[in-house]
Amino acid sequence: MTDATRPATTHGDPWARNIWALTLIVFVAFVGFQFFSPFLPLYVHELGVLDARRVALWSGALAAVTPAISGLLAPIFGRLADRYGRKLMLLRSLVGFTVIIAAMGLVTSVEQLLAARVLQGLFAGFTPMAMAVASVSAPREKVPTAIGMVQSAQLLSAAVGPAAGGYVASHFGIRYAFFVTAGMCALALVALIFLFTEVEAGAPGAPRRMPARLSLREIFSYPHFAGVLLLLMAAQFVDRGLALLIPLQVAALPGMHAIAATSGLIISVAAVAATVSANVVARLSREIPPARLLMVAFAVGSPLCAAMALAHGWPALLVLRAVVGLALGGAITLAYTLGASIVPGETRAAAFGWLALGVQIGTAASPLLTGALAAVSLPGAFLVYAAVAFASAAVLAFGTRGLR
């Protein structure tokens, strides 16, 4: 009996052990990333940029440059992963992160920090590669569960990392947050080496076949691949945008004093809600087509995003953000599941590289557009994200017939 036909799922199954190991690796690495990411503006100020506008400009550039470069290079590294091994590409990322992020704690100017962030982009692409690895490591019927577990590890890190990173930064200095992140990437690297065993796509024990060179046209010839790419971009765009809008909305509420603590609480609760959502939709997708679940998620999330513009107190904003997390938290999991269902395993890393381009475009564009929208109208920014979610639901309802 092959892995793909086994009816039972236990932690003793080789594929299950691999997925649990991968989930642990992603969680450790992303908790580390959250140690320093929220504090980049403070680090920019510490490096000698004192004007508030220049701090904002530098912070935006630093936040955008790594995902932008990573997105552009993701298709290339995806193809290399299909040819030479996906575990090797994960090792490449973690080794690069360990060295470069440690160097970020040693820079003496914001220009040096920008150069380090550019270098980090050359080694990024960790998340889509982890998703691709999860999708080919599990039996076909367990792919949504595998992707959901890895996505949950990433989401849950946002509930743990910022608080721990804030403690380190406030008690020991921001530079030490970078050193802790580098240490956690090194720990994830060791776990990847010793706990994860790469599984080839296709029949167990089959020799590795060098995949045929796939052109961009062939990648996008897979049915509905372009649609899934757009949906991933929209899901990431909305998720990142809401995370950036929360502190601004809290600061705009009347009578607010503990703005940072309240914002952190809301963001952490939203992360937990999104983690729950990713696991629930992974289970539901065994019985309900993922495309239908994703359409419902966007359709429900759209008016909830709009309602956040009307919140007049932090408890209402907390509840609404948590419910939005429950509605949209599993959107990326479902979109990656759809991608895995339409792309053969032997070329999945290359295809997921292109899907990563959509994710990174959403990651890079969201902070820039969110700042511009919020400067004009904070409630209007929430309405724009509601419109993006509604448009995504419409695409699934009318533009991707036949996608399951």
CA distance 295 to 203: 33
CA gyration radius, the chain? 20
CA distances from 107 to 48, 163, 187, 356 (A): 12, 24, 23, 29
Give the burial string for 48-61 (b: 16+ CB within 10 Å, else e): ebeeeeebeebbbb
- Type of residue numbered 392: S
**What is the biggest distance separating any 2 CA atoms in the chain, rounded to whole angstroms?**
66
User: H helices of 173-289, where?
Assistant: 174-195, 216-219, 225-252, 259-284
Q: Provide the token pair at 170.
A: 């406030």
**Options 2.102.10.10, 3.40.50.300, 3.20.20.10, 1.20.1250.20; which CATH number does 12-200+217-399 get?**
1.20.1250.20
User: Of 195, 202, 185, which Cα lies nearest the Cα of 96?
Assistant: 185
List the chain domain ranges: 12-200+217-399
List the chain pLDDT tens, one digit each, 404 residues: 334 334 334 455 778 888 999 999 999 999 988 888 777 777 888 899 888 678 767 877 887 788 888 878 877 887 788 778 888 989 999 999 999 999 999 999 999 999 999 999 898 778 778 887 888 888 877 888 888 898 888 888 877 877 787 778 778 888 998 999 999 999 999 999 999 887 665 444 334 444 445 556 777 777 788 888 889 889 988 888 887 788 778 878 887 776 666 777 888 888 889 989 988 998 898 888 898 999 999 999 999 999 998 888 889 999 999 999 999 988 988 988 888 888 776 666 667 777 777 777 777 777 778 777 777 788 888 999 999 999 999 988 886 666 66
Four-residue CA torsion sign, 164, 381, 74, 174: negative
| Phi, then psi, of 4 in degrees rounded to 5 | -70, -20
Q: Provide the token pair at 360.
A: 């990174």
Helix 290-308 to helix 259-284 angle (10° resolution) is 160
Q: Where are the beta strands (DSSP E) in 69-112?
A: none
CA distance 283 to 71: 29
